[in-house]
Amino acid sequence: KIISSNLDDDKHFFFNNFEADQINLFKEDFYENKTIKIISSIGLKINYDQKNNLISLAQSKSNDWALILDSSFENFEINFAGSYLSPSDDYDNKSRINGYGLTGCLNFYNVEFKNSVITSNAGKCEDSINLVSSSGTLKKISVSKSYFDALDMDFSNLVINRLDIKDSGNDCVDVSYGNYMIAKAFLELCKDKSISIGERSQLRVSNLEISNSLKGISSKDFSKTFIENLSSYNVDLDLEAYNKKQEFGGSILQVNNIKGDYIKTFKDENSFISIN
């Protein structure tokens, strides 16, 4: 099913098994009469504030992780805090992807959101936050001080009212195989792409502000990206649309209103950029 998923509209995923004889390597928690399920590393500290619909997760070490799956959140706030240790004190390149194949410090799989908030600070994984096969509406996502990608969303259908990302060691936002709508986004200090849109995704953003980053919007591989209002300042390459992977083709990138010091663009022969 995984191999053939490129041939039809059904998408399939593989997660490494959580074997019973490895129970000492992770823990499993349930909340709200088992409507919320969290699997995590032993060292991760989890606090559930039922009165305020708040779940706080804090690393003891930089390779601590959490997987929230088969759950639903309405008017919840989920906060993730990194270990805050310096790289020389607690950092291992191998921790970017853990032994279960999870790329995120905070991972969501098959989760339904309604009017909820997610925050992350000082994540040292490949993705600080990774949303997979999830849907619904998020009031706000806020990510700061990511050592690598800040926010990765795959195979999902999500509406985000506000997105704040600052100081990412790689991409600020990376989306693939899904439909995403963002009302307001503020992206700053992205070491690579501010937003990377790939693998047949569709992204619509009403108001987007990008500053002090290597690249702005990168649309590729059969994706369609629509930005209503864009402000882009101190960005080396503001807009690009191209074909990256051989199993895909070009991309469409449309911006209706744009402000910037000097807008720089790139597109290949398979792609299209429109600026009104």
Mean pLDDT, to the nearest integer, of 20-39?
Answer: 75
Report which of residues 237 and 1 the model is more confident about.
237
pLDDT tens-digit map of 148-190: 999 999 999 999 999 999 999 999 999 999 999 999 999 999 9
- Per-residue pLDDT of 219-271, as tens digits, reads 999 899 999 999 999 999 999 999 988 888 899 999 999 999 899 999 999 99
Integer Cα distance of 274 and 48 in angstroms: 47
Q: pTM for this one?
A: 0.86
Mean pLDDT value across residues 95-109: 80
pLDDT, residue 261, reads 86
List of E strands, the chain:
26-31, 36-41, 45-49, 54-58, 66-74, 77-81, 104-121, 127-132, 135-146, 149-154, 157-168, 173-176, 179-190, 193-198, 202-220, 224-242, 252-260, 265-267, 272-275
